[in-house]
Structure 1
Amino acid sequence: MNGGGNVVCVTGASGYIASWIVKLLLLRGYTVKGTVRDPVGKIIDMCYHAILKCTFMYIYCSPEDQKKTGHLLALDGAKERLKLFKANLLEEGSFEHAIDGCDAVFHTASPVTLTAADPQAELIKPAVMGTLNILKTCTKVSTVKRVIITSSMATVMFPKSPLKPNDFVDETTFSDPSVCEEEKQWYALSKTLAEDAAWRFAKANNIDLIVMNPCLVVGPILQPTLNFSVDVIADFINGKNTCNRRYYRLVDVRDLALAHVKALETPSANGRYIIDGPLVTTKDIENVLREFVPDLCITDENEDIDIISRTYKVSLEKVKSLGIDFTPTETSLRDTVLCLKEKCLV
């Protein structure tokens, strides 16, 4: 599949990863139907017939709307080939207009936080129900040939037998929900349950499903505000190690976005794809950032409270088979800092 003439849907289109997916899709000639919780203006959808194409009119635009979606509307090709729709993960059927007529769907929308007062309401319910809402809609749209879901390495790193240093993980490694719950890893639990629900539903309904499992994602941002993963780097710039880890694995958002698009364009693509970076220490990150903040000294007073030893070994052969050449971690970190400085976010 190539972009010319093809229509795809990207859920959560204004988000960090999704914005880069949208950018690449537009550059490759796709028409993109993106969903956001509050798109630019109120969209009037005039559908008189199933055989008629929908037309759209933006009748109101507030500053808040522009802040959420202005970076999307400014992308090359957006004026001609990007349409935005309002949709809610918990509202069944709210994605139907966006998915209608699409050849493929990229589902990226899911809450991201490591702390939640009510994990069920804040993380688990929207992750699981949102995923099933998307897939159920796809079963009603005969044009959809493939669905690509953005999951996480969180669905890999908490197996029933805890990972030990130098343990090997690959696409067959799955987190155990009971372990996530016992360790109060609520984000990992939400992603694990959502991915499990997706695979079960896809198998039962003969959906061509692909799942991407990235580690912590860094690199330049397109949106005007900080997201969770890049905020981790912003904290480092401010001398804080808020995740209380000694070891990190980072992947560049541009590599991840390309992997999503390649998964669509490669007919033989299938199953899960681990997208993980090399092991780096807090000191490694500090050394790169000191180029921009010469007097940087990252506080590291706490013991590593992360239950998983990040010195596991990982196979990246499957994702590399899509033609992905990984950006060096140092380059990703430098580009992240330059972007944050340019946007006055640090």
Structure 2
Amino acid sequence: METVGIIGGSGFIGSYITRKFLEEGYEVKVSVTNIHKSEKYQHLFDLKNSENLNIRAFKLEDLDPLKDFIEDCGIVIHSGTPFQLDVKDPQAELFNPTIQGTQNFLEAINKSSNIKKVVFIASVAAWNTNFPMPAGGKSFTDTFDEKEVRYTSKDSHPYSQAKFIANQVVEKFISDNPELPFEICSVSPVMVMGKSLSNREDSTSTGLQFLIKNKIAPDEFIQRLYDNNVPFAVVDVEDVAIATYKAATTKGLHSKDYLLTSETYKVWDIHQMLNHREPQEKAKVIYKNDLAKMDLEIQFKPVKETLRSYSEEIT
């Protein structure tokens, strides 16, 4: 039985990735930052084949336990960077764990003798730190795919900047190590929505869905989304997990970075659908998914289906 290590495998996206690998018959190791906060990972033991699940606690900033974690893994998934919009100390809360954690992770995998494939769960922010606003020089209706030049701005949200820099770290590592004995590839989801596998209330992704469903604006960032009826490219959380599994188990994808995206709707239409009403406008495809559909052989769920899955569980 092959072993996969999933950094951050108990989070919103990570839980679905953990479930997928368990269902496919893998021995799954999941990292958490605090073993005493069982409410953050206990839901994983309700999954099918959870007898093949092992939980390990450490932080990515700590190199030695990270090396020990991946030692016997044939596949390693890095889904362990924080997704936070409400940030008081960007350096401590985002830049250090995202960038230093990525650097430590790359150092650890470079010394492993068993790894065959590494997959990074990156972000659309690694392509455009202005998301959901257009990249520089583009409009809301201009399409975006993997042929575009990556765009960043120092005025973008710190989370987006951290993800962009982390991706640069990965690209440099690949360039500096042309003879790696394993493949590295990345998947970059747009706004990830859907039903959570846990009952946690601190997920930014599920929290944003709750805010949009109920027209709540706790800060200026969210209020601007409403005021400008900003279009959002959305992808289903389960589709992200399937794409990650395909990326991890398909050969010949080294150095590729796939946009994972379905359709784009304006935020008020997302609000409508979360409340079981029809959107006013038809879906558009702004962030394109052709490369992922071709290489990973995945068909992305319509956004209506994704939002229905969430809203049927939440009142």
Choose from 201, 209, 213 the match for 1:237: 213
Structure index of larger Rg? 1
Deviations 1:212-261 (A, max 9, x none): 11011011111221311111111123222562322111110000000000
Q: Is 1:334 the equivalent of 2:308?
A: yes
CA distance in 2, matches of 1:117, 1:224: 25
- Aligned residue number for residue 221 of structure 1: 196
Question: Structure 1 residue 186: deviation in Å?
Answer: 0.8
- Aligned residue number for residue 131 of structure 1: 102
Deviations 1:80-106 (A, max 9, x none): x11111110211222122101110100
CA distance in 2, matches of 1:239, 1:161: 29
- 8 Å Cα contact 2:233-2:287 kept in structure 1: no
Question: Structure 1 residue 265: deviation in Å?
Answer: 1.4
Question: Structure 1 residue 163: deviation in Å?
Answer: 2.5
- Aligned residue number for residue 102 of structure 1: 73
Choose from 168, 174, 184 the match for 2:143: 168
Question: Structure 1 residue 172: deviation in Å?
Answer: 3.7
Aligned length, in residue pairs: 292
Give 2:289's aligned amino acid.
Answer: L
- Aligned residue number for residue 88 of structure 1: 59
From the superposition, tell whether residues 208 and 250 of structure 1 become closer, same or farther in structure 2 (CA, over 3 Å).
Answer: same
- Aligned residue number for residue 60 of structure 1: none
Q: Is 1:199 the equivalent of 2:171?
A: yes
Deviations 1:149-192 (A, max 9, x none): 01111111248844324333222435444x1x2x1421110000
Question: Structure 1 residue 125: deviation in Å?
Answer: 1.3
- 8 Å Cα contact 1:23-1:76 kept in structure 2: yes
Q: TM-score, normalised on structure 2?
A: 0.86
CA distance in 2, matches of 1:143, 1:190: 29
Give 2:208's aligned amino acid.
Answer: V
Choose from 26, 29, 34 the match for 1:30: 26
- 8 Å Cα contact 1:154-1:192 kept in structure 2: yes
- Aligned residue number for residue 286 of structure 2: 313
CA distance in 1, matches of 2:46, 2:265: 35
- Aligned residue number for residue 240 of structure 2: 256
CA distance in 2, matches of 1:142, 1:154: 32
From the superposition, tell whether residues 175 and 122 of structure 1 become closer, same or farther in structure 2 (CA, over 3 Å).
Answer: farther
Give 1:251's aligned amino acid.
Answer: V
- 8 Å Cα contact 1:157-1:174 kept in structure 2: no
Deviations 1:121-150 (A, max 9, x none): 211111011111111111111110111001
Structure 1 unaligned segments of length 5 or more: list them.
40-63, 295-310
From the superposition, tell whether residues 97 and 213 of structure 1 become closer, same or farther in structure 2 (CA, over 3 Å).
Answer: same
- Aligned residue number for residue 305 of structure 1: none
Q: Is 1:14 the equivalent of 2:19?
A: no
- 8 Å Cα contact 1:219-1:333 kept in structure 2: yes
- 8 Å Cα contact 1:199-1:209 kept in structure 2: no
- 8 Å Cα contact 1:165-1:312 kept in structure 2: no
Q: Secondary structure at the match of 1:203?
A: helix
Deviations 1:288-307 (A, max 9, x none): 23338x9xxxxxxxxxxxxx
Deviations 1:298-321 (A, max 9, x none): xxxxxxxxxxxxx88333111102
Structure 2 unaligned segments of length 5 or more: list them.
279-283
RMSD after superposition: 2.1
Which residues in structure 2 correspond to 1:291-310 (within 5 Å)?
Answer: 291=276
- Aligned residue number for residue 275 of structure 2: 290
- 8 Å Cα contact 1:163-1:312 kept in structure 2: no
CA distance in 2, matches of 1:125, 1:325: 35
CA distance in 1, matches of 2:23, 2:207: 27
From the superposition, tell whether residues 164 and 14 of structure 1 become closer, same or farther in structure 2 (CA, over 3 Å).
Answer: same
Q: Is 1:274 the equivalent of 2:246?
A: no
Which residues in structure 2 correspond to 1:144-183 (within 5 Å)?
Answer: 144-158=115-129, 161-177=136-152, 179=153, 181=154, 183=155
CA distance in 2, matches of 1:276, 1:211: 14
